[in-house]
Structures are given as structure tokens and as C-alpha cells.
Amino acid sequence: MEEIDEKLLDILKVLAPGTVFRDGLENILRAQTGGLIVVSDKEEVMDLVNDGFQIEAPLSPARLYELAKMDGAIVLDQDAENILFANAQLIPDPTVKSSETGTRHKTAERVARQTGELVIAISQRRSIITIYKGDSRHILEDIRVVLVKANQAIQTLEKYRSVFDQALTNLSALEFEDLVTLSDVVTVIQRTEMVLKIQREIEKYISELGSEGRLIKMQLEELVSNVREEGILLIEDYISEELEEDASDPEKVLEDLTDWSSDEILTLNTISKALGYSGSVNALDETVSPRGYRIMRKIPRLPMPVIENLVEHFENLQAIIRASVDELDDVDGIGEVRAQAIKDGLRRLRDQVLLDRHI
């Protein structure tokens, strides 16, 4: 999939199938008349507008199509709800660099770079819609092509989710057996990041698909449910206490990892360094113990403040597992009934993950 600048995502939603704007663009595309559209009423844009007709009419597909028959540019307001000018001549700074060759696309790119605003060029001969926003450029693909790519991405995500679930089950079993190594932990974090990266790619497709992406969105929501939460709790379980306070926030660590390149994510040593451990190969064989946030979160009706009290009191999962009902009862927020529920819940979880690991 072509890399899309993050600032174009909102634009793709405005231009998505089913919107008034997109219907108008499709009409122009089918008529092969071409077009140049600026979406901004800011002063720096209006300074580039010369001549043309002042319209001041609500945007509609029919109006956009008819006005595009004229050679000049169409200027819309900032919200793309009203047509301000038609058949306008745009005069951007000729010293602004452009990689385009055609007059219409060269003008569109220069106006976008000079003003930072949204400009759309519709090619008459090639029948494509090109979006310019600042220095970013993106070509709107045919909806059928985008749907095929989105469905392929969903299939890939299903495979990665299956691998993630298996790695997580294996880690949970190792946590109950107190046999976790740093390699086991960073492997699951790696799988988490792979799932989240694919999620972000599919979200871009969904933005571009608009009303046509409803089913893809439903599938995505089901496939990524709880992945981010598991990742945050996993980091909270294993992040080194030696990290500075600003760098030890689990959510921030997860966000930073998501911004890494695919090559960086595939290297386990870089992930271990992000958690505050040594990046050496030998460090991956180091035995580590979870604090217990992730496993305890799986016990029904156990609030996070109570889990935090448990971790603060016992310091790690194994100590919580070995604790008696009376010892659990001594923790703030836990009575005898809840203490027994914790013991029973941990026993059920242990039996379940050990069984799942062998299925």
C-alpha cells in the first residue's frame, strides 16, 4: 500500500464514497473533462485566485460536474460545503518546486505547497484523481481496487492475530510455571506491534472506502479487540524499573514501538532495549518475572485499583499465586470473598492456558 501521510486521513474521509464531494469527483472523472479544485477560503489561497466567476452556492455533485466543464479552477470553502469561485485562474509562485509535468497538476502541486491547503487535480486523459496537501501527494484509487487490497490485508491480519494469540497463550503458561525469559516477552510484544501496524494500514483503506468499508471495519474491530490493551499490560508487567519516569509509561512505549519501521520491529534486541534491558543477545535468555497486571486483569470483576494494590503488596505474579486467602485478605480493597475469588480465578486461568497451549 502506498504510504499515506497521516494528515491526509481526514481528507480521505471527506472524499470517501457516499459523500457529496466524492460523487461530484466521480461525475467529472466519468465525463473525462478534467478539473482543478482548491478546498480553502483562507487569505493566502484567495490571493492566488485571479478572475473567474463568484458562485457562492452549496456544493452538489451536479454543480461540481457542470462547473468543471470550464477550464479554470473551482474554489470551495474550508469545509468543502460551498462553491465560492469557478473558472478561476490560479497564479502560484513559479519558483515553488513541482515534480509534475502537466499544467493542471503542476499548478495544483505548487498551490498546495505554497499554501499548505488541499488541492485536487483530476486528469482528463489518465482518468485519475490526485490529492495534494502541503508536500504530500496521494492518488485516489478505484474503489474496487481498494476493496481487494483491504480484503487481502484482512486475511493477513487474521494470520497475524492467530500467531499473536498462540504466543500470548504460551507466555501465560510460562508465567504460571515461572519459566519466562526476556525472549518470550519481546516476541509477544513483536507480535503485538505487527498486528497494530496492519490495523493502521487497514484503517487507511477504510478511510478511503467510506460507506463501502463498513464490513471491513466490522472485521477489523473483531480481529484487533483487546490487542492494544494486552500490549500495554504486557509492557507494564515487564518494563524495567531502571528506565526514567518519562520513558516508563507503557502506553508511550507502545506508541513509540508502533512508529518503528518493520525492520526495527523484527529485531528482538531493539525491543528489549525499549523495555530498559540490555540489547545484547545474551540478555534475551535472561529470566524475568511478571508483575501480574495482565494475568490479574483476566479475573472477572477485579478492578484495576485492586490489581495495583496486589502488585504493590506482593511485587510479582508468583508471590500473588502462592499467597493464601488470608494473605490476600490483608491487601487493601480485598475482603475474604474477593480473596477466595482471586484464588479460584487464578486456578481456572492456569488450567485453561495450560490446556490451550497443547491444543
Q: Could you tell me which residues are annotated as the binding site for ATP?
A: 72, 90, 103-107
DSSP classification of residue 339: H
CB atoms closer than 10 angstroms to residue 123: 17
227-238 and 143-177 are packed helices; what angle lies between their axes, rounded to 10 degrees? 40
Question: Which residue shows C-alpha cell 526495527?
Answer: 264
d(CA 37, CA 349): 59
The neighbouring-strand residues paired with 130 are 121, 139
Residues β-bridged to residue 76: 39, 83
C-alpha cell at 259: 512508529
What string of DSSP letters covers 99-125? Answer: ---SHHHHHHHHHHHHH--EEEEE-TT
With cell 545474551, the residue in question is 282
- Residues tagged in the binding site annotation: 72, 90, 103-107
**CA 147 from centre of chain:** 18
Give the Cα separation of 306 and 296 in Å (integer). Answer: 10
- Rounded Cα distance between 65 and 72, Å, is 13
Cell of 234: 504486557
In 65-193, the DSSP E strands lie at 73-76, 82-90, 118-122, 129-133, 136-140
Q: Which position has the grid cell 458562485?
A: 55
Instruction: Check if the beta carbon of residue 116 is closer than 8 Å to that of residue 110.
Output: no
Q: Judge whether 113 and 135 are in contact, CB under 8 Å.
A: yes
With 0-12 / 13-18 / 19 or more C-beta atoms within 10 angstroms meaning exposed / middle / buried, residue 352 is middle
